[in-house]
Amino acid sequence: MGPLIPNGVIPYEWSNIIAIIIGIAFGFVLEASGFSSSRKLAGVFYGYDFAVLKVFFTAALVALIGILYMDYLGYLDMGALYVHPTYLWGAIIGGAIMGVGFVAGGFCPGTSLCAVAIGKVDAIIYVIGIMMGVFIFSELYFLFQPIYEGSFEGNITLMDTFGVNRYWFVFVFTIAAIIIFALSDQIRKRVKKIFY
Amino acid sequence: MVNRKVAKVLTFRYTILALILVILAAGLVLLPKYQKHEGINPEELLSKAISPERYISTDILADRLVNQDPSFILIDVRDEAEYTKYSLPNAINIPLKKLLDEDSVPYLNQSQYNVILFSNDNFNADQAWILCNRLNYKNLKVLKGGLNEWFKTIINPVKPTENMTALDFELYSTRKAASMFFGVAYPEQFKVDTPVIVKKVAPKKVITVEKKKKKPAEGGC
């Protein structure tokens, strides 16, 4: 049956409209759960708030387990899902830059737009910074191109790379996530409380 | 009282949620595994197999060859010996046994060209078609009737009899022209037209028979 749009259950023309609806819902939930505050987001690096870590790990887990169950029951063809291609060095360097930006600015790109929507000045400056970064990258693309397109690994997944059973992988991943949640709670208790 | 009980349970809410995740993940590991169907799903294969669109007729193929259509490649799935004996122009030989070899994949699994499979009849080409479709290769067609049909229709077209329609005669002349393109020689090509000597019609001499003047009756006896 699924995925819905490639299999024609939902016409292809609806995909943009559905994307907008999901985007609005996502932004609303982000804002409502306090993710438009740079203090809350940066808390994960200073150890006083692990909401970001927990939320994104839980989201990944729920999606993983849900997709695997749907695949098992035949509602979803996992082979038809899009796997993002891996450009190894591009991903490593880009991830490092994004991490530095995350610590320094207190936003990730999605939450910064969310904060712009409620009129936060720091977020507005952050987004202007993003735009400048985009501009510089585009203008100097010829310099970055070898990194950007190099070390292409194809549409690989962790299961393929390590050759492990995907169900066992998800089980171990779940246990690891829960241990990380418990540990992060312990760290939070030890760190001096910060009110924000 | 109820509220206090609920509150008591709710103090463990994160533990409960974590447990749910662990149980679900463990369920994935423990569920009995079954062999998943890979590649094209059976319904799709069936609907493709019974669709007449997967065939290309010899007439259309001849037309494309004559017009040098670059959008397709011909693949001969017969043996090499048969291939060397006769094959269609520019055909690539991939015997059925070597169909799944690594060397033949680039020809079959691509999206630039239509692939037209043929053998002596449909059968081997159909087998190749099914195998390739199971592997989810795209743009595959089978030459209807194979080379036998090719010979019957294009190389050696049957002359329509006089009681057939004009369309049949038209088709015959197209096929004949196509066969000439593929190198068939017809005796009438070599027949030198002997000029028909039109005899000059000699102007008829009108021989006017002079009427004998009636001689005035001579008085006789």
In CATH, what number is assigned to the domain containing residue B58? Answer: 3.40.250.10
Give ∠ CA B198-B204-B210 in degrees, rounded to 5.
170
Rounded distance, CA A66 to CA A62, Å?
6
Rounded distance, CA A141 to CA A89, Å?
16
At residue A130 the predicted structure's pLDDT band, cuts being 50, 70 and 90, is very high
pLDDT score for A41: 87
Do B92 and B73 meet the contact criterion of CB atoms below 8 Å apart?
yes
Do A196 and A37 meet the contact criterion of CB atoms below 8 Å apart?
yes
Q: What is the DSSP letter of A11?
A: -
Domain end position, chosen among B133, B153, B173 = B153
Token representation of residue B17: 């949620």
Tell me which of B24, B37, B38 to substitute to probe the interface with A (most A C-beta atoms closer than 10 Å).
B24
Instruction: Check whether residue B46 and residue B149 sit in a common domain.
Output: yes
A167 touches chain B (CB under 8 A): yes
Quick one: angle between helices A166-190 and A51-73, nearest 10?
160
- Taking an 8 Å cut-off on Cβ atoms, the answer to whether A174 and B29 are in contact is no
pLDDT tens column, A93-128: 999 999 999 988 888 888 999 999 999 999 999 999
Do A96 and A72 meet the contact criterion of CB atoms below 8 Å apart?
no
The number of domains in chain B is: 3
Consecutive sets of 10 residues in chain B, 221 residues long: mean pLDDT of each? 80 87 90 77 85 89 89 90 88 87 85 89 88 86 90 87 88 88 80 67 70 57 54
Rounded distance, CA B218 to CA B196, Å?
59
B112 located within any domain: yes
Rounded distance, CA B146 to CA B121, Å?
4
Give percent of chain A with pLDDT exceeding 70.
Answer: 99
Chain centroid to Cα B170, Å, comes to 20
B23 touches chain A (CB under 8 A): no
Q: Cα–Cα distances in Å, from A67 out to A78, A167, A182, B176?
A: 8, 11, 25, 60
Tell me which of A58, A164, A171 to substitute to probe the interface with B (most B C-beta atoms closer than 10 Å).
A171
Q: Looking at chain A, how many residues does it have?
A: 196
pTM tops 0.90: no
Domain enclosing residue B163, as ranges:
155-187
Interface of B with A in 147-176 (CB under 8 A): none
- Which residue of chain A comes nearest to B32, CA vs CA? A72
Instruction: Check whether residue B145 and residue B67 sit in a common domain.
Output: yes
pLDDT score for B218: 55
Rounded distance, CA B215 to CA B221, Å?
16
Instruction: Could you list the beta-strand ranges (E) of B1-121.
Output: 55-56, 72-76, 92-93, 114-118
pLDDT score for B213: 59
Instruction: Check whether residue B65 and residue B129 sit in a common domain.
Output: yes
Q: Which residue has the higher pLDDT, A63 or A156?
A: A63
Burial class (CB in 10 A: 0-12, 13-18, 19+), A129: middle
Instruction: Check whether residue B96 and residue B49 sit in a common domain.
Output: yes
Mean pLDDT score, A168-177 = 92
At residue A92 the predicted structure's pLDDT band, cuts being 50, 70 and 90, is very high
Residue A167 has pLDDT above 80, yes or no: yes
Rounded distance, CA A120 to CA A116, Å?
5
pLDDT score for B190: 74
pLDDT score for B192: 66
Assign residue B14 a region: left if phi > 0, alpha if psi is -120 to 50, beta otherwise?
Answer: alpha
B133 located within any domain: yes
- Per-chain mean pLDDT for chain A: 88
DSSP string for residues in A125-178: HHHHHHHHHHHHHHHTHHHHHHHHHSSEEES--HHHHHT--HHHHHHHHHHHHH
Tell me which of B21, B22, B36 to substitute to probe the interface with A (most A C-beta atoms closer than 10 Å).
B21
- Which residue of chain A comes nearest to B16, CA vs CA? A178
Instruction: Check whether residue B76 and residue B138 sit in a common domain.
Output: yes
B7 located within any domain: yes
Beta-bridged to residue B114, according to DSSP, are B72
- Taking an 8 Å cut-off on Cβ atoms, the answer to whether B28 and A181 are in contact is no
Instruction: Check whether residue B106 and residue B175 sit in a common domain.
Output: no
Give percent of chain A with pLDDT exceeding 90.
Answer: 39
What CA dihedral angle connects B79, B82, B86 and B89, to 10 degrees?
A: 0
Closest in A58, A72, A171 to B25, CB measured: A171
Strand B92-93 and strand B72-76: the pairing is parallel
- Taking an 8 Å cut-off on Cβ atoms, the answer to whether B26 and A171 are in contact is yes
Closest in B22, B31, B38 to A174, CB measured: B22
Q: What is the DSSP letter of A73?
A: H
B93 φ, ψ (degrees, to nearest 5):
-95, 115
- Rounded to the nearest angstrom, the minimum Cα separation between B71 and chain A is 27
- Which residue of chain A comes nearest to B28, CA vs CA? A167
- Taking an 8 Å cut-off on Cβ atoms, the answer to whether B28 and A170 are in contact is yes
Rounded distance, CA B143 to CA B161, Å?
27
Predicted ipTM?
A: 0.77
